[in-house]
């Protein structure tokens, strides 16, 4: 008999023995409320808690599990959950930074390391990865996303799921992953967290759902509902999402969990009258477990006994929850309880964090090849509020990282240069939001005494993440003024931005000679940046999201639709070009702003290197294919510079005419390739015809006959093009 068959029999035996109250108990998740109180102890004994989250004390964790196993009637273990979003004790780059590596296998390794650390601390379940498509940098949770593109996000979603869950979920160092937030959360109006979402069904299916489908196909154990309403129905109450799409269409077999108090919040949405109504609608929609709010605990028993909710729905939910507990090995002793305090991060994890941080950094500007600097540089000015801050560089969801283990840029510079270079360190601002200019003169003096200035700025960790949306995306506080002051020195200026989102850094970038965008890189921030600043390696990160020049351009993303007057087809008319007292007319203009045009500050996929890459000899295996057939695409990529480096080769397509208009470009593949100076290599993409389709007006996925354009290059504005046709 297989282990799965045996587990199934044990689950059915447990279900038959459970009271309705015990079944409902499995559907309840509570956060740590300050230790094992008498009330918590009693609920555990009565089998009325299925999961807990945020229990950080190992002794408390062990006692909770002991009570559940030894003092409850049926001995059903508790799943212990934690937000292990981009690392546990070792903090890796925030997810948006990981996506900038364009290296899903690296992300998988980071998730594997995080799972090992979290499982040793007694956690079985992480509420990650977050795979919401984010096309509005005002939204704070863009930091937790993999960016704006479904192809890129899907690959990272699958990789992170496999990393967290390992080869077998019952392995002691595996944790159950949770695909969140289902669905459409990244499209909230105005980038305001928790806000309303309106998405046509086709856009939902073509852009926002593919990463979740990739996670399900990768075997994700759980799925979390979103806070937002979608087209008038809160996601936590949407049977269309949870039963039709997730269960019926995709065949998801794990369990679903609400986000924090999301069932109760359906009352404020105006979708439910009270907690009792919320419990009924959440279960009917397909929510198996409720996080923190008490709709299920307080009302589900009565809803079943009154006949308002079929008892079979409760059995379904509990069966799925128990199945995950069996898969995690919680019943058979293979998984130990929480250990003591987590030891220091393993050297291998720190080296992995350094690699991930290094690959995540995007070189946006490098005038006159200022970077890399020579280690023999005589003097450096190290300025900026984030040059020596071990906390802020960890980013959002950094609960289990330790500042004493973070290596800051200033610390890493001192270690690397070893006293041979004079370092003039002045913060200039005590923190990123500060507007006090009292240190400006000292910063300018430091710049004047130095050969090169390194400025480390950006935004603090608390300025991005959940509930931290921003209407203005410029550098906070007086950072722009400080950069302008430093620029007066006339010394070469390297700007290093550490942030949780794209910032509108155009003014600062103009004053700088080089710009490195480092996101929030995590524990090994300093060493990774030093590796790049001094040329141990070349930057290879690429933007996973479009950078707007100003907030007024938002939403701004590469895979937009064309208009009848495309902005790149006509001469640009700006405010200063309009004649005085001009007659009211369109002035022959197109779909763009009069004051800032239509161009982003930096396009999706963009990122420079210390070398240059050339693309040649684009070839396709056939000029005509049928839907479902494969198209082999090859291109020669050459390192035409003097530095060994990695390039991310990107493939985009466009369906030129369709029954529903299609985006001007769509990413369909990417590969990282490392090349020595003057080395070239043929890169081959095996493009399935199935990925050329979309959902038509009837919500059928179709690949329509017609002409397609294909581009390959180093960003979304690649110019090397081929054409092929899909035939019926």
Q: Which residue has the tokens 């970038």?
A: 509
Q: What angle do CA 105, 94, 113 make, to 5 degrees?
A: 50
Q: Helix 104-120 crosses helix 150-165 at what angle (to 10 degrees)?
A: 30
Q: Cβ neighbours of residue 102 under 8 Å, at least 6 residues apart? A: 152, 541, 542, 544, 648, 670, 672
Q: Provide the strand spans (E) within 55-97.
A: 79-82
Give the Å distances, CA to CA, from 60 to 90, 122, 329, 608: 23, 10, 20, 49
Tell me if 409 sits within 8 A of 530, measured CB to CB: yes
Tell me if 303 sits within 8 A of 281, measured CB to CB: no
| Whether residue 259 lies in the annotated active site | yes
Closest CA to 89 of 335, 325, 352: 352
Q: Helix 150-165 crosses helix 210-217 at what angle (to 10 degrees)?
A: 30
d(CA 406, CA 87): 13
d(CA 427, CA 449): 15
Closest CA to 256 of 296, 229, 198: 296
Tokens of 494: 């390297």
d(CA 153, CA 141): 14
d(CA 366, CA 495): 10
Q: Among the options 136, 259, 388, 400, which is catalytic?
A: 259
d(CA 422, CA 639): 35
Closest CA to 160 of 182, 145, 142, 139: 145
d(CA 392, CA 606): 26
d(CA 383, CA 444): 9
Closest CA to 496 of 471, 477, 521: 521
Question: Which positions are catalytic?
Answer: 259
């Amino acid at each position: 008999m297989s282990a799965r068959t045996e587990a199934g029999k044990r689950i059915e035996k447990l279900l038959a023995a459970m009271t309705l109250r015990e079944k409902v108990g499995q559907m309840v998740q509570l956060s740590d409320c300050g230790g094992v109180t008498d009330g918590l102890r009693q609920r555990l004994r009565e089998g009325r808690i299925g999961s807990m989250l945020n229990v950080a004390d190992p002794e408390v964790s062990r006692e909770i599990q002991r009570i559940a196993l030894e003092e409850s009637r049926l001995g059903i273990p508790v799943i212990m959950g934690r937000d292990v979003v981009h690392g546990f004790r070792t903090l890796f780059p925030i997810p948006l930074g990981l996506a900038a590596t364009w290296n899903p296998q690296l992300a998988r390794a980071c998730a594997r390391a995080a799972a090992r650390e979290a499982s040793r601390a007694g956690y079985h379940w992480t509420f990650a990865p977050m795979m919401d498509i984010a096309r509005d940098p005002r939204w704070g949770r863009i930091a937790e996303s993999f960016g704006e593109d479904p192809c890129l996000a899907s690959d990272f979603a699958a990789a992170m799921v496999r990393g967290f869950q390992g080869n077998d979920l019952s392995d002691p160092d595996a944790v159950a992953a949770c695909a969140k937030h289902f669905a459409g959360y990244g499209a909230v109006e105005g980038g305001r967290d928790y806000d309303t979402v309106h998405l046509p069904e086709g856009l939902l299916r073509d852009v926002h759902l593919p990463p979740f489908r990739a996670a399900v196909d990768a075997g994700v154990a759980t799925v979390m509902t979103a806070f937002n309403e979608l087209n008038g129905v809160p996601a936590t109450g949407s049977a269309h999402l949870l039963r039709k799409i997730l269960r019926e269409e995709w065949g998801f077999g794990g369990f679903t969990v609400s986000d924090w108090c999301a069932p109760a919040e359906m009352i404020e949405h105006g979708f439910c009258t009270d907690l009792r109504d919320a419990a009924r609608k959440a279960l009917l929609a397909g929510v198996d477990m409720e996080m923190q709010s008490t709709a299920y605990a307080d009302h589900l028993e009565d809803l079943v006994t009154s006949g308002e909710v079929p008892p079979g729905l409760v059995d379904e939910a509990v069966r799925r929850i128990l199945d995950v507990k069996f898969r995690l090995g919680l019943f058979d002793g293979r998984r130990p309880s929480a250990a003591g305090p987590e030891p220091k991060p393993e050297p291998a994890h720190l080296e992995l964090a350094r690699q991930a941080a290094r690959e995540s950094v995007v070189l946006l500007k490098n005038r006159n090849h200022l970077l890399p600097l020579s280690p023999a540089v005589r003097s450096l000015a190290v300025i900026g509020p984030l040059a020596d801050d071990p906390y802020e560089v960890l980013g959002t969801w950094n609960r289990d990282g330790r500042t004493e283990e973070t290596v800051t840029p200033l610390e890493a510079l001192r270690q690397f240069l070893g006293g041979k270079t004079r370092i003039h360190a002045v913060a200039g601002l005590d923190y990123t939001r500060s507007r006090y200019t009292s240190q400006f003169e000292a910063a300018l003096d430091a710049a004047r005494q130095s050969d090169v200035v390194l400025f480390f700025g950006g935004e603090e960790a608390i300025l991005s993440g959940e509930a931290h949306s921003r209407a203005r995306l410029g550098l906070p506080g007086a950072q722009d003024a400080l950069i302008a002051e430093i620029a007066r020195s006339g010394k070469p200026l390297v700007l290093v931005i550490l942030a949780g989102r794209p910032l509108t850094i155009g003014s600062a970038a103009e004053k700088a000679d080089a710009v490195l965008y480092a996101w929030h890189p995590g524990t090994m921030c300093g060493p990774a940046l030093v590796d790049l600043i001094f040329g141990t390696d070349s930057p290879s990160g690429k933007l996973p999201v479009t950078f707007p020049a100003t907030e007024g351009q938002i939403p701004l993303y590469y895979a937009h639709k064309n208009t009848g007057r495309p902005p790149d087809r006509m001469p640009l008319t700006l405010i200063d070009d309009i004649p005085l007292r001009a007659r009211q007319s369109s002035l022959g203009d197109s779909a763009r702003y009069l004051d800032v045009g239509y161009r982003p500050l930096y396009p999706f996929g963009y990122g420079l290197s210390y070398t240059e890459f050339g693309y040649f000899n684009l070839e396709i295996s056939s000029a005509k294919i049928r839907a479902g057939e494969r198209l082999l695409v090859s291109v020669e990529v050459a390192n035409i510079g003097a530095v060994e480096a990695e390039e991310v080769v990107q493939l985009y397509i466009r369906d030129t005419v369709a029954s529903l208009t299609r985006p001007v470009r769509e990413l369909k593949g990417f590969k990282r390739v490392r090349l020595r100076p003057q080395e070239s290599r043929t890169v081959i993409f095996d493009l399935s015809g199935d990925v050329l389709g979309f959902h038509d007006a009837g919500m059928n996925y179709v690949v329509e006959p017609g002409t397609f354009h294909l581009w390959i290059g180093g960003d979304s504005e690649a110019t090397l093009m081929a054409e092929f046709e899909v035939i019926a």
